[in-house]
Structure formats: structure tokens, C-alpha cells
Chain A
Amino acid sequence: MYGRGVGGLLSWLWLCGLVVQPASGAEPISFARDIRPILEARCLKCHGASMQAGRLDLRSRASALKGGERGPVIKPGDPGQSALFRRVAGLEKPAMPIDGPLARPQVELIRRWIEAGAPWEGEIQSSMPQPPANQIKVPELPSAARSFWAFRTPVRPQIPTVSDPRWSAHPIDAFLKKEWDARGLIPAPAADRVTLVRRAYLDLLGLPPAPEQIDQFLRDPSPEAWPKLIDKLLASPHYGERWGRHWLDVARYADSSGYEHDYDRPNAWRYRDYVIRSFNRDTPFDRFLLEQIAGDELEDESTETLIATGFLRNYAKVGFREKDNPQFRFDYLDDMIATLGRGVMGLTLHCARCHDHKFDPIFQYDYYRLQASLFSYVEVDHPLVPRAEAEAYSAKLEEIARRIQPLQARIREIESPYREALLQEKYKKFPPHIQEAINTPEHRRTPGQVLLANQIIRTTSVSSAEFDRVLKPAELAEKKRLQEAIRALEQQKPPPIPSAMGITDGDYRFAPDGPGDEPAPGKGVKQEAIEGSFLHRGPGRYQPPPAYFLHHGDMQSRGPEMRPGFPLVLTRGNPAVELPPAHGRTSGRRLALAKWLVSPDHPLTTRVIVNRIWHHHFGRGIVGTLDNFGHTGDRPTHPELLDWLALEFQQSGWSMKRLHKLIMTSAAYQMSSAFAPESNLAKDAANLYLWRFRPQRLEAEVIRDSILAVSGALNPALEGPPIFPKLAGDVLKSMRNGIWQTQPEGPQTWRRSIYVYRKRGLPFPFFEVFDLPDQSLTCSRRNVSTVATQALTLLNNEFVVEQSRRFAERVRRLSADPSEQLVLAYRLAVGRVPDATERALGLRFLESNSLEDFTHVLFNLSEFVYLR
């Protein structure tokens, strides 16, 4: 949602139907009696002395007629074309006043007043009692606000008593059974064991099981085989690659910055690997959040927790002249709030940037307190070496720079006598009127000539090579010697130390320039009369720069300075909003925020994460809208089960792996997906109450990984810098900026899809076609669509065809007999053996077609791209 700031553009409408006639016999309008009180009471708060939202000032006739940044708002005599009238009449959005409409008679007065030519008397002085804009009312939470289900603290429910032994052993089953009984739904029978083992592998690892792995499970008929399989898969390092990917969607992870320049982020992958490792070591989820939000503020800070701070840094970034465009920083803060809101709390908090939330009890005040909790952030690349080593590294760089400086100064000294003549030569290439402007002495230039001359003079420079052409031989020789010395010094630079893209606290007003970041001359953030530094350098404690309430989300319309804090409706008691760490380099605001999020009485954090996990296992959350638990989101289908899971999760140490096992050992998880009695379909066609297992189309990454696993080509190497599989020639043509360092196809690109370079400006086509979400915003639930281009990809894409060849070779190596080959290929691709009809069709096909043809067909089976 972009609609921040001062509303939309005026959309002028020729008022065909709305002909404005003076009401006959009405009393003439008096400005003082009729209009002024309305302006004072309803308009001047934002368009008066203390602030002029949208640069509109309604204190005098002149300023009112002048209008705001969107143009004039009053056309005397013509209310239909006066934005002031159109806004208060609700004919144009956003309707004004922003805090609620005028009474109808007041609207009519405004109309008649403008029609009468908008007469005015005097100026409305600021001595009029105006609520100062730098004070805002602390909102009061409506008493019923916390009674909405999502804002109540979860309470442990009674596990329903169930007599049926199939559903009584596991609490999850008991909760589900209660709803089936209440609705007359018949639960599905158990899935066969081959389906189950494939389900478990795809779900936990994102890879299909090999035939030996299937057999290993089938050989053990004991009831312990299933929990043992789950334990084995949870211990696999591929588990982190699969479940880490789900979290990376939430974290809007990408390897490039997006927008025009789409800069490479050479260290972004370290955060991706941190997420994989965190899932693999089963970092408790509360700790996982602490590290990602405040890894630089923890007592036990480590390189791992510093890498974790990449979570908040993953936003897409414009990256061009950001110092000229300070509003971008507010967009990044908004993105963080949206990510924490939707991703962690399941709320659309970012809707409260410009106004109080329209549907949930979230105030603009809440938004700006939360923004204050994050406001002190600055972007840093955390060195991943001990502090002393990092300091030695910077000291060395500074020393080399210091030694280079005099050499460069000497080069400039050699060149400078020639500069003017070379510049004059360049000026001569311009048309005569421009040359004239340049050649006119500064004090005699006309105002236009000043601009013209400035434009050229300030943007014309002489390159080193151009100097070389005119330097005397001795001078040139000296310059070359100096350049050689500079190069030698540069070679003494130590190799860059590994670093991670993250954040810490500092003062953004002193941030060093990033790529393309240097402000245009004479522009940029006006440095207020402040002293400070980018990062805190002792002694004393770090002080965060002030954060303000912004009326209508408009950077120019500052309200009071805001203290950090949390949304009222979610807050119990009086949690700390700052927990300054002992090292004194940061404010501890983010640490306090993270601690509040994982506090035991937070009503949403645990509900939201267990619901996410549930969604990825079952294809739908207990709350269908994973990132919106508010009034406009879905209601939980099983509210008690959700609360039971949330509390169970919290009490078992926020362990993801235990939660997976808890869910997967339920009988419900082991139900068949091929079950469709008419009576169930009539009552619950969407399967909201989970009377069968929901078949799920595999995600883009899992489809590609499955192809590689089945062909036998998968390189299972873990972690590391991103890979760049080959793109069809023309696809690269649509890349304007940033990188794609294509690697030859082979083991180094046949790695799992999580390692493919995530380029915001150029989504990997194979993934894009299978519903890759937008890589710039936090995403919870991927779309599933079925389109012809998916069929074209699986039929014709070179990668798929190549892997089906390898698949055929793999099968051929194992057997030369067509009917054995058929069975093997089926088992590799979909886990099961073919039935009689499939066998017959397949054998007939192989009589006149190759095994490659056959294996390619298997990659195209619906069954291959579904988890069932």
C-alpha cells in the first residue's frame, strides 16, 4: 500500500450531474459567521499555523487561493471545481477533514460560500486557540478491544474426550474429531505407507525419498517406524534447507537490492545460511527472534547473532541519492514494521502509518512508538572476525589511504597548469550561446547565463588520459611513477575481511555514502546543527537520534518526539521499552522489542508461528490468513487447538523440531488425501475441517530439487555463496543492472534451489513460472496457479530435458530390462510401483520410444509435482 502522505492527486471531474444552484431565498453567506468557525474547528489543525499538511495554508484568502502542493483548492464561484468543496463533500478522495466528515449543513455552507466567490474577512490569526501539532492525544483503547480472539492471551484448553481409539491417543486428533462429529464429517482412512514416507520426505526435506529409503521404512512394521523416520529426517541437514526457505519468504530475503540499480548484495547469503543453520540446530524460536531483531544487543553477541541482524536489513532499497530523498528511510522503516507485523505478529500494523488502522485497534500512535523502537538503526557490514582484528584491518586501510594522499596531491599539482586550457577546449564544442554564457565574466552574466554556465562548468571535468596527452614527457614520467607507487600501496591492502550485511544502532545522519548515494551538490539532508558520529564512539552511552510522530505519514509534518513502545492492544503490564546493553554502543530498544515479542503473555507471537508451521504441514493454517489475525483476517477453524499448540510450543522450549514431531505423529497427518465422500464434499468442500489430508502442489524450489534428486545429479553441498544457473539467452537481456554470473551447467549449479541467486529485478524463470512470490515484500502464503507456461517449462526447458536424460541413464545403469526399468523409474520419481494399466501403457510406449522419452513424461506427471 503506497497511499502515504497527503492523499492523491486532485482528480478533476467535469461535474455533469451536479449543477450548483443557489438555494433561493437563503440568507447570504457570512464568512465570519458561517465559514470561519468551520475552518477553525476542523481545518486549521493541519492547514494552519502549526502545520501546513500538503503545503496548504487556510489562514488567509491569499494562501487559500494559492493552494497546496497539488494545486489550488478554491475556484471562486465554482464549487464543482474547487477541491476544498469536493473533498469535504466526499466527491474526491481522501475525503476531508481527515478525522471525520463535516455535518451536511456545513458542507452546504462551504458550497454556497465558494459559489458566492469565497469572500473572506481578514486573516485567521494564530492567536486563535489551536491545538499545537506537537502534542497528540494518547489514544484510549476501547474497552472491548482486547476481547477479540486474537488479542486475548491464549489459555490452555481442555483436550476433548474422545472414545474412538484411532483419534483418542493424540490431542491434535481429539480436537479435530470434536469438529468432525459436530459437523457430521467422516475422516479419511490412513494413507498407505509408501504415500506416507514420500509425504514425510517432501514435507521435511523438500526431496523425494530414494527407493532404499522407502524400503528401509517399509521393512520396519512396528509402530515406532514412523516416529523414528521423523527423527531421522529432522536430523538431516537438508531439513534446514527446506524449512529455512519458508522463513526466508517471511524475511523477504534476496541477494540484490531491487529497483533501478538492483545492486548485488555480496554478503546477503550469510543470513540465508544462518537461517538454515538455525533450523538445523533447532534454535528455540524465541531465541531466533531475539537474534534477528537484536543480535547486536545481546549479552552473548557472536558472529552468528550479528549475521542474524540481516533480517531487518533485507528490505528492497532504491539506492540512488538516498541523501536527497530522506523519505526512503521511512519506507524502509515501514517495511520493517510490515515484516514484523505480518511476519511475527500476524497483523497489518503498517496500515497505521498515515491514519489509525481502519479495522483493528491499532493507532497511528502505536505505529510511531514502534517506529521509535527501530528508528536508531543504521546499516553496517559486521566484520566476522574478532574485534581487535577488525580494528587492525581498518587501521591498516586508513594508514594506506594516508600514504596515498600526498602522491595524489602531487599528481594534481602536475596536472593543474593544463586544466583550464583543456576545459576551454571542451567548452568550444558547445553552441555559441552557451560559449557566450561561459565566457561572460561571472558578475556580468544574466540570470539565465548564470544557470547555463553553472550547468556546464560544474559538470565538466578532465580525465587522467586527457591530461596525459598534453603533459610534457618529464611530467608524464613523474605522473606514471607516482601512479605506480599508488598501485603498489594499494596492493598492500589486506584482503577484505569477511563481513555480514546487518544493522546496529547509530546516527543515520552521518551514514557513509553507499553506492550512488552521494548527494547532488547543494542538496541532501540538511545537516541540522548537531554533533555526532555514525557509530557510537565512547565514552558515555549511545543516544539515539530523535524519532517523531508524522501526521498523515508525511515526513514534513512532524508531530512530537516519540518514545519507543508497543501497540497498546497487545501490551500487558508495563514492559521495558529500552534495555541498554552493558557495552553502551546501542540503545537496547530493539532488544526490548524482541523480548516483548517473546514474552509469555504476548497474545500473537506463538499463535502466529505455530499456525505457520501447521500451514506448511497441512497446506492451510488453522487461521487461513497466516499474516493477518486481525478483524479482516480469517477466524481460526479450531481456536482451542491453536491455543493448545501455542502453549505446548512455549512450554516445550519453543522447539520447532518438537512441534513438527507433535504434528506429524497425529493420525490426522497420516490420513489419505484420496478420499471424497459426497456427504463431506457437500458440507465442507474446501476441507477446512481437515477430514482428509490436503494435496499440495510443490513449491517451485521443491520441483527443481526433486528433478535433480531423481536424476541423481543433485549436489548436496550445504551453504555458501549463491549459484547462477544458466538462463536462456534472451532472459539475460531483460537485466538492466546488477549481476548474473552465469556458471556452466554441472555439479556446481545442480545444487538445491535455496542457493540460486535471488535477484529482485530478474526472478529465476523456472521459479517464477511456479509462483515464486514477489521478492520485495514479506510473504507468508504462496499462490498456487496452474498455467500453460508451467507445462511448457516441464516439457521443453533445457534443464528438465537434460535431467530426464540423466534420469534415464541412472535407470539404465541399474537394469537393462524394460519392465524392471519401468518399475525403477516409477519408484524413483513418485515412490510407488506402477499399477497394471500404467505398466501396460508404459511397456507399449517403450516399444517405440526411448527411456529418455519415458523419464521425461514422469517429470510431467501431476503426481510428481504434488505432495499427497
Chain B
Amino acid sequence: MPFVSRRKFLFEAGGGLSGLALAALLDQQGLLAGPTPCSAPGASSPFSPRKPHFEPRAKAVISLFMSGGVSQVDTFDYKPALIKYAGQPLEGKGEIVVRQGHPGPLMPSPFRFQRYGQSGLEVSELFPHLASHIDELAIIKSVVGRSNDHVMAHYELATGTVRMGAPSLGSWVTYGLGSESRNLPAFVVIFDARGGPFGGPANWTAGYMPALYQGTVFRAAGDPILDLRPPSGVSAEQQKARLELLAQLNALDEARNPANSELAARIASYELAYRMQACAPEAADISQESEATRKLYGLDDPVTEPFGRQCLMARRLVERGVRFVQLYHGGLGNQNTDTWDAHGDVRSNHAQHAAETDLPIAGLLKDLKARGLIDTTLVIWQSEFGRMPISQRGLGRDHNPGTMTIWMTGAKIKGGQAIGASDEFGYKAEVQPVSVHDLHATILHLLGMDHTRLTYAYQGRQMRLTDVYGEPIPQITA
């Protein structure tokens, strides 16, 4: 940490704490000067960027998590057999394990499918905007999860295990690569304005790693970070005066306690906090965006506005060096209408949630492309499990971890390809089943990390995000 020794030098050279030396120092750290450019990359941050294992394809990740369970057979995994065998039992697949109620007969999708782009991949009418990007997407149609419980399935996608308390993917990435931003946290979570996802903060926990690596929640409205600014009654001048005195006193303390590197880190954490006070609201402030951009994300329509805001913030954060942005769509409230959990009626549920997200996601992809960020940013669209090809109470679909469809784009991934396949009904993954460990291995690979070498010592073991499993998906990493 070069700036710490610089401080010591100034402190000692000044023969006591001359106001002048301190001012010069603080100025150098941007404490007294006007706001430093928030997008400036930092060499002196305590989360300094670290080298990956090999040349990375992506520097940042935006994960779009559709909470509640998106139905594959109503979105990207077209199954004509469901029309042909509509109303008949699903047979020859062993015992059908449902989460709620009783197994129903096969139910065709209420949505029409159409081929798009040069690839001719099928997309349902739920995603008219996203469909125009089909040739950019790598669609994986055979992801297999381990649990049909919302929370456990969320944890599996987030951490690789269905149990609570393991470090999340974003934490592993931050641990592995550090941060490109000296003014913002490296791992940011923005959840649905209706509330947090199933399983809550354990989805972005650092688990057994230090809190340094846990996700920081950005709120889509108001101050983006909890306790970012002083409460009412404390003015900016007061705050600044307090910080100046604090810096002086903590520097004295540091000098009295040699060889305690934590004290320097603590002083640095206040400097980062100070910069975050300016830079986090700046990053979250979408009022600076042009009318065209706002429209691109659907901010002019109350249906698309909330998720559009999340997507636009994601782009602004990535632009400013944030490493991992985790967006959740679908949150607390009425589970049947506020998340993708279409037990009751898949038609109305999915129509609503697709309408809320289709345009904003397409806007995000366009915008990343226009700004030249797409080649270094991995965008993943995912959910915690798929849904059943059979009906629940005639109109809905129950949980199904047997197969789900997710897609990836950006990071120079070959688009317009379908990877893996489910069986003729979309009930179980059949060709090239992909585990969550495989997904995680793939994501780490794109970020320049070998998932078998990214380890953290805990309980006498070299722990891995992928445990002892996982293989990168060759069609993605090729």
C-alpha cells in the first residue's frame, strides 16, 4: 500500500502533524479536493486488482436472475410434442415428483413460438425484443439443478451448494480478481423493488471468507448503499470536519502502534468510504442519462421502468469498474404474482414478468454493444429451476429442477447457438446435461480463472466454488 507509507513519510517529515502536511496528504487522497472522477481506475485500493490465471475474455459479469422459476417450455425450449400429446399423462419417466398438489397431464405452452435471426432459434412471443438478439445469445437448454425448493435452488445457483452459508459466486470472483474500481464495491447486488429474492442475503454472502468479499446491496431508489450518507441533522461540513480530525487522530495512533498493518487498512477503508459517498450516488444517478438511453431501457413505461432502472444501473456500475453485478427480478410480496413462480396460471404470470423484463434486457444488450462494453462483459440470464411440462391445477406449472434454460452473451461468446437439449417434453435434460458446477466453471473460465485452481483454505481443505466437480462448457469457452 504505497500511499500509506507516503502518509507516514509526510507525517514524520513534518515533525509532528503540521496542518500543511496533512492537508497535502488529504489532498493527494482526494479527501479535501473536489470529487475525483468516479470512473478512475485505482492502483492503490485495498481490493487492488489481481491477475487471473490466464488471459480473460470478460472483465465484468452482469447476472440477470429471474427469481421464482422460469418455464423453459414457454420461453426458449420449444416442444411440439406438448401439442401433440396435450392432455395425456407424462409416462415412462419414472415417478414424477411435484412440489405442490398432484401431477397433471402434459400441457402445451399457451404462447406461440417463432424462429428468429440467422440461427433460426425459437423464441416464444413472450420476448419480442430479446428475440431480435437471438443471434448473440448462447442458449443452454439442459441445465440441471439439485433441488425443487426455491431457497435451496437459489443457493445452488448462487454458491454451488443447496445449503445455506457457502461463499457466493460474486464473492469468489471478487476474491479471485479484486476490484477495478477504487471508489465502489467490487460486487454489487440490486434486487427487485418489490423485495429481496428467495433466501435473502445468503445469496450474496462471503460465507467462510472475510466480509470483504460479500456483495453490497445497492437500492434502486434513494441512497444506493445503507448508511451511505449521514443522517439528517449532520451537515456535509460537519462530516468533513469529523473526517479530518479522525484522519489526524488515526494517523497518530498508527504511528504509535508499529507493525499493525490493520490500522493502515482501516484508514484506507475510511478513504474508500469517503469516495463511495460521492461515487455511489453518482453511479446510481441515472438522471444524467439521455432521453434516448432512458427510452432504450423502458424508463418511460411504468411496466418496464423498475427493471429498466436496475439494468441501467448495472451498465453504469460495470462502466465504473464494478466486477460483478447481480440483478434480481421477482421479489417479496405475493409469490404468485411478484415472482416467476407460476403455480396458478403460467399464461398470466409469465406474460407479466416477461413484459417487465424483455425490453430492459434487450436495451441493456444494445447499450453494452454501443458502448463497446459487450466484448468484455459477460451477461447471464438465469433462474433457480425450470418448470414442469405437465400442468398444475390445469393452468399452472410446478417446479422442475430436471432441466432449465439459461443463456449467456457478451465476452465474445459465439451467439445463435443452442447447447444441450431436454427430452421431447422438456421434462429432463437429455443431451449434454450441464450442472451448476459446470456453469460456475464456465463463468470463472471466461474471467480468466481455472475453477480447480481458485481455492480458499478452510477447515483444513482447499475449498472450491465447484467442490470437486465442474467442467467448463466447451461451446461457450471455445
Given contacts A788-B269, A789-B225, contact A768 B87 (CB under 8 A): no
Binary flags per residue of B181-199, CB closer than 8 Å to A gives 1, else 0: 0000100000100011011
B233 contact set on A, CB distance < 8 A: 801
Question: Which of chain B's residues has its CB closest to A331's CB?
Answer: B163
Question: Which of chain A's residues has its CB closest to B462's CB?
Answer: A632
Q: Is the CB of B272 within 8 A of A673?
A: no
A62 contact set on B, CB distance < 8 A: none
Q: Is the CB of B250 within 8 A of A448?
A: no
A448 contact set on B, CB distance < 8 A: 87-89, 105-106
Q: Is the CB of B269 within 8 A of A790?
A: yes
Question: Which of chain A's residues has its CB closest to B210's CB?
Answer: A785
B46 contact set on A, CB distance < 8 A: 786
Q: Is the CB of B87 within 8 A of A452?
A: yes
Tell me if A121 counts as interface (CB < 8 A to partner B): no
Q: Is the CB of B191 within 8 A of A449?
A: no
Tell me if A71 counts as interface (CB < 8 A to partner B): yes
- Which of A776, A791, A845 touches B245 (beta carbons < 8 Å)? A845
Given contacts A762-B201, A776-B164, contact A853 B238 (CB under 8 A): yes
Q: Which of A104-112, A166-174, A728-736 contacts B (4 or more CB under 8 A)?
A: A728-736
Tell me if A695 counts as interface (CB < 8 A to partner B): yes
Q: Is the CB of A695 within 8 A of B257?
A: yes
Q: Is the CB of A777 within 8 A of B195?
A: no
A697 contact set on B, CB distance < 8 A: 262
Q: Is the CB of A348 within 8 A of B459?
A: yes
- Which of A631, A768, A849 touches B201 (beta carbons < 8 Å)? A768
Tell me if A795 counts as interface (CB < 8 A to partner B): yes
- Which of B162, B211, B249, B392 touches A787 (beta carbons < 8 Å)? B211
Q: Is the CB of B242 within 8 A of A853?
A: yes
Tell me if B104 counts as interface (CB < 8 A to partner A): yes
B200 contact set on A, CB distance < 8 A: 734-736, 761-762
Q: Is the CB of B149 within 8 A of A791?
A: no
Given contacts A628-B460, A801-B234, contact A452 B105 (CB under 8 A): yes
> Smallest CB–CB gap between B138 and chain A, Å?
14
Q: Is the CB of A857 within 8 A of B242?
A: yes
Q: Is the CB of B228 within 8 A of A796?
A: yes
- Which of B106, B163, B267 touches A2 (beta carbons < 8 Å)? B163
A771 contact set on B, CB distance < 8 A: 210-211
Q: Is the CB of A455 within 8 A of B391?
A: yes
Given contacts A455-B104, A697-B262, A797-B227, contact A734 B191 (CB under 8 A): yes
Q: Is the CB of A8 within 8 A of B225?
A: no
A93 contact set on B, CB distance < 8 A: 468-469
Q: Is the CB of A16 within 8 A of B227?
A: no
Tell me if B263 counts as interface (CB < 8 A to partner A): yes
Q: Is the CB of A841 within 8 A of B469?
A: no
* Chain B contacts with A in 250-308, Cβ cutoff 8 A: 250, 252-254, 256-260, 262-263, 265-270, 272-273, 276-277
Binary flags per residue of A211-229, CB closer than 8 Å to B gives 1, else 0: 0000000000000000000
The complex places the Cα of A789 from the Cα of B245 at a distance, in Å, of: 20
Question: Which of chain A's residues has its CB closest to B216's CB?
Answer: A789
The complex places the Cα of A633 from the Cα of B164 at a distance, in Å, of: 24
> Smallest CB–CB gap between A74 and chain B, Å?
16
> Smallest CB–CB gap between B401 and chain A, Å?
11
- Which of B231, B241, B270 touches A849 (beta carbons < 8 Å)? B241
The complex places the Cα of A38 from the Cα of B161 at a distance, in Å, of: 34
Q: Is the CB of A837 within 8 A of B252?
A: yes
Q: Which of A430-438, A471-479, A747-755 contacts B (4 or more CB under 8 A)?
A: A430-438
- Interface size for B (C-beta < 8 A) is 107
Tell me if A50 counts as interface (CB < 8 A to partner B): no
Q: Is the CB of B461 within 8 A of A632?
A: yes
* Chain B contacts with A in 438-478, Cβ cutoff 8 A: 438, 459-461, 467-471, 474-475
Q: Is the CB of A795 within 8 A of B394?
A: no
Tell me if A12 counts as interface (CB < 8 A to partner B): yes
Tell me if A320 counts as interface (CB < 8 A to partner B): yes
The complex places the Cα of A582 from the Cα of B421 at a distance, in Å, of: 63
Tell me if A151 counts as interface (CB < 8 A to partner B): no
Q: Which of A412-420, A610-618, A860-868 contacts B (4 or more CB under 8 A)?
A: A860-868
Q: Is the CB of A861 within 8 A of B210?
A: no
> Smallest CB–CB gap between B305 and chain A, Å?
18
Tell me if B84 counts as interface (CB < 8 A to partner A): no
Given contacts A260-B199, A728-B226, A736-B198, contact A791 B269 (CB under 8 A): yes
Q: Is the CB of A2 within 8 A of B161?
A: yes
Question: Which of chain B's residues has its CB closest to A850's CB?
Answer: B238
- Which of A11, A342, A776, A863 touches B435 (beta carbons < 8 Å)? A11
The complex places the Cα of A67 from the Cα of B151 at a distance, in Å, of: 30
> Smallest CB–CB gap between B376 and chain A, Å?
25
- Which of B164, B208, B246, B432 touches A316 (beta carbons < 8 Å)? B164
Binary flags per residue of A830-857, CB closer than 8 Å to B gives 1, else 0: 0000000110011001001110011011
> Smallest CB–CB gap between A423 and chain B, Å?
14
The complex places the Cα of A776 from the Cα of B238 at a distance, in Å, of: 41
> Smallest CB–CB gap between B67 and chain A, Å?
10
Tell me if A458 counts as interface (CB < 8 A to partner B): yes
Tell me if A783 counts as interface (CB < 8 A to partner B): yes
Q: Is the CB of A736 within 8 A of B262?
A: no
The complex places the Cα of A459 from the Cα of B101 at a distance, in Å, of: 7
Binary flags per residue of A74-115, CB closer than 8 Å to B gives 1, else 0: 000000000000000000111000000000000000000000
Question: Which of chain A's residues has its CB closest to B222's CB?
Answer: A730
Q: List 5 A-B contacts (CB under 8 A).
A: A318-B149, A348-B459, A734-B201, A762-B200, A863-B253
Closest 6 CB pairs of A and B: A632-B460, A734-B196, A785-B210, A448-B105, A791-B273, A9-B435
Contact residues of B with A, CB < 8 Å?
Answer: 16-17, 46, 87-89, 98, 100-106, 144, 149-152, 161-165, 185, 191, 195-196, 198-202, 205, 207-212, 216-217, 219, 222, 225-231, 233-234, 238-239, 241-243, 245-246, 248-250, 252-254, 256-260, 262-263, 265-270, 272-273, 276-277, 332, 390-395, 430, 432-435, 437-438, 459-461, 467-471, 474-475
Contact residues of A with B, CB < 8 Å?
Answer: 1-3, 8-14, 16, 70-71, 92-94, 258-260, 316, 318, 320, 331, 342, 348, 359, 430-431, 433-434, 446-449, 451-452, 454-456, 458-459, 520-521, 625, 627-628, 630-633, 673-674, 676, 681, 685, 695, 697, 728, 730-731, 733-736, 760-763, 765, 768-771, 774, 776-777, 783-793, 795-798, 801, 837-838, 841-842, 845, 848-850, 853-854, 856-857, 860-863, 868
